[in-house]
A and B are shown apart, each in its own frame.
Chain A
Amino acid sequence: MTIRFPSLEFFQALQQRTKEDKAVFEKLGTCDTNFGVKIGSQLYTIDFEVYECVDVREGGDPTRLDFVIGGPTEVWGEMVKAILQHGGADAKHTLNTLSHVGDVLRIETSDAEGHDKFYRFMASIQEFFDQARHLDVKVA
């Protein structure tokens, strides 16, 4: 079934992948964070607990999240296309690369510890998005 990006279904499918590809996430280690993904003006809340994503939902309170990764819909779309094309983010489209310099993606946080959680769990969060390689996605 083709899943549209961006959509709640896309994140639900990624959530399911953390269960189906459980060995990959267990190898990366425990990941305990609640973070936001803001695509254009739409916020999605992602909850990780122990090894897996336990909940995804539309909306949420950014001030109660560890961090929010936000950016224009086109940038997110390009990232997802790169993942689909290369079987994972290529060098230009990793989350860190897109959020480090310039205003491509931004990491928004009100708390330095929450900000550091983006880095503490970087490999798990990147793998979460890279799991899109297993999905049939149509980027809007």
Chain B
Amino acid sequence: MSYYGPTDWRSNSDLALRMRDIRKGNLDLGWMKAGTEKLRFSQENPKRGFTYLDVNKGSYGYDDLPEVPRGPRGAAPRGATYDVKHQADLEPELNRKSDVWAYKVASFTEEAVSRQWDATTDVPWTDLDKYERSEELEVAYAQLCTFFTEVEMIATDLPAKWLWRMNNQFHEVKHFIATQAIDEARHAEVFRKRALVGGVGLMEALPQAEHSLKAILDGDTYGDASAFMHLLAEGNILTMFRFSEFISPTPVDKRIFQLVMQDEARHVSYGMQHLKWTIDHTPERKEQLHSALDEGESITINQFDAALTECMIVLAGKGTKPEQIAEGVKIVGQLQVKQMQEYFHRLRRAGFEDRIARSKFTPMLSQLGLTPEFTAKAAAEVS
């Protein structure tokens, strides 16, 4: 216990007197005249249900929420009355709307709630035995799943780390990143189960990945962490999920990646819209975001030299014979270029085009011969 209230209520005579009074039926009923706004709310579309968008009105809504809400710093819900003098200060660190807000965040939250799934029952696990898989490919698949499990555990911690630091006036964002935490926990669960159910077990944990994950987790601000996590890292992982669905040998694995892909794409969309909101409302933060992404890109590139890249090559080429590896190298090269291209498209959409010229990805990938021209040529050659 580190917080002790200013009064010991166990031996407070005023409280005891008041409690006795209430027990006699002498109620104050002052709370019945709170004076909060009386509005009528209705569902815009009954098929969709009663959404955050339906309650976006007046003092309860988010459209009129100022950049710095000077109201309660505790848990008073937006639109309730509060007594600042007597309320606990929960000391939120993220008190500006531009710190956390994103265009369409209420829609993302509703979508997240609606599209939840269950790793225990929504994957046809028992069907896996129907499909023949080589030992070699199953080992490579287990390595891929080990990497994804590591990544998703930190992806669970990151939103949880920042969630309680956000002012409760921004509850739509808090709700969204709470759904993100549960999404990521489910991803860690599904990949762990997949590695184990294949009979190989978990493989190598990768230091390259863990340094990258630490950098995400230790972002100086939520904006830095979000740009790195939602846009750069999850964008890369989304492209890898697409790739993994592509190389998955069984419909069971395809199903897993179709499901995780949906969640990841939603997180990336939030990240893109948060970055756009930040740049539109506080352009002075651009330089700090550039610095965060400079480091993010640098540390992300390190994963290209890891068991991760090798297991993807083996999976893409369907084996370890020289001709299979050559085929795998071609396919994985396309994935790496695609990761960069999609990241740039998202930066452009977020209004952060100037990042593209500064990005560390372009020169690094060019040195490796990984250019859009390479992708076009490789795409034509891949059988």
B and A form one assembly: yes
Residues of A within 8 A of B (CB): 28-30, 32, 50-51, 88, 90-91, 94, 96-97, 100-103, 111-113, 115-117, 119-123, 126
Q: In whole angstroms, what is the CA distance A89 to B189 when docked?
A: 26
Taking a contact as CB atoms under 8 Å apart, the answer to whether A100 and B48 are in contact is no
Residues A120 and B265 in contact in the complex (CB < 8 Å), given A50-B47, A101-B334, A102-B379: yes
Contacts of B241 in A (CB 8 A): 119
Q: In whole angstroms, what is the CA distance A100 to B243 when docked?
A: 7
Is B171 an interface residue, CB under 8 A from the partner? no
Is B111 an interface residue, CB under 8 A from the partner? yes
Contacts of B290 in A (CB 8 A): none
Contacts of B334 in A (CB 8 A): 101
Residues B316-362 near A (CB distance < 8 A): 331, 334-335, 342, 345-346, 348-349
Q: In whole angstroms, what is the CA distance A138 to B110 when docked?
A: 39
Q: In whole angstroms, what is the CA distance A109 to B254 when docked?
A: 24
Is B115 an interface residue, CB under 8 A from the partner? yes
Contacts of B331 in A (CB 8 A): 101
Contacts of A51 in B (CB 8 A): 47
* Closest 6 A/B residue pairs (Cβ): A29-B115, A119-B265, A112-B349, A29-B114, A100-B246, A112-B345
B47-65 vs A: 1/0 string, CB under 8 Å? 1100000000000000000
Residues B238-271 near A (CB distance < 8 A): 238, 241-243, 245-246, 248-251, 254, 257-259, 261-262, 264-266, 268-269
Q: In whole angstroms, what is the CA distance A123 to B114 when docked?
A: 13
Contacts of B48 in A (CB 8 A): 30, 50
Nearest residue (CB) in B for A52 is B47
Contacts of A50 in B (CB 8 A): 45, 47-48
Q: In whole angstroms, what is the CA distance A73 to B380 when docked?
A: 19
Residues A112 and B111 in contact in the complex (CB < 8 Å), given A91-B254, A121-B262: no
Contacts of A113 in B (CB 8 A): 269, 272-273, 349
Residues A112 and B342 in contact in the complex (CB < 8 Å), given A29-B111, A30-B114: yes
Taking a contact as CB atoms under 8 Å apart, the answer to whether A94 and B254 are in contact is yes
Interchain nearest-CB distance for B347 vs A (Å): 9
Taking a contact as CB atoms under 8 Å apart, the answer to whether A122 and B269 are in contact is no
- The secondary-structure label for the interface of chain B is helix
Q: In whole angstroms, what is the CA distance A48 to B246 when docked?
A: 25
Nearest residue (CB) in B for A94 is B254
How many A-B pairs fall under 8 Å by CB? 93
Nearest residue (CB) in B for A114 is B349
List, sorted by A's number, 20 A–B pairs whose CB atoms are closer than 8 Å: A29-B114, A29-B115, A29-B116, A30-B111, A50-B47, A91-B249, A94-B245, A94-B254, A101-B243, A101-B335, A101-B379, A103-B379, A115-B345, A116-B238, A116-B346, A117-B265, A119-B238, A119-B264, A120-B266, A126-B258
Interchain nearest-CB distance for B266 vs A (Å): 5
| Choice from A28, A112, A123 contacting B346 with Cβ under 8 Å | A112
Contacts of A102 in B (CB 8 A): 379-380, 382
Interchain nearest-CB distance for A103 vs B (Å): 6
Residues A103 and B380 in contact in the complex (CB < 8 Å), given A112-B342, A119-B238: yes
Q: In whole angstroms, what is the CA distance A55 to B313 when docked?
A: 42
Nearest residue (CB) in A for B331 is A101
Nearest residue (CB) in B for A115 is B345
Taking a contact as CB atoms under 8 Å apart, the answer to whether B246 and A97 are in contact is yes
Q: In whole angstroms, what is the CA distance A101 to B160 when docked?
A: 35
Taking a contact as CB atoms under 8 Å apart, the answer to whether A119 and B242 are in contact is yes
Q: In whole angstroms, what is the CA distance A112 to B335 when docked?
A: 17
Taking a contact as CB atoms under 8 Å apart, the answer to whether A123 and B258 are in contact is yes
Residues A30 and B242 in contact in the complex (CB < 8 Å), given A91-B251, A102-B382, A112-B345: no
Contacts of A30 in B (CB 8 A): 48, 110-111, 114-115
Contacts of B238 in A (CB 8 A): 116, 119
Q: In whole angstroms, what is the CA distance A120 to B264 when docked?
A: 8
Q: In whole angstroms, what is the CA distance A29 to B345 when docked?
A: 27
Of the listed residues A29, A100, A120, the one surrounded by the most CB atoms of chain B closer than 10 A to its CB is A120
Interchain nearest-CB distance for B50 vs A (Å): 13
Contacts of B335 in A (CB 8 A): 101
Interchain nearest-CB distance for A86 vs B (Å): 8
Q: In whole angstroms, what is the CA distance A116 to B264 when docked?
A: 9
Interchain nearest-CB distance for B108 vs A (Å): 9
Taking a contact as CB atoms under 8 Å apart, the answer to whether A97 and B47 are in contact is no
Q: In whole angstroms, what is the CA distance A88 to B245 when docked?
A: 16
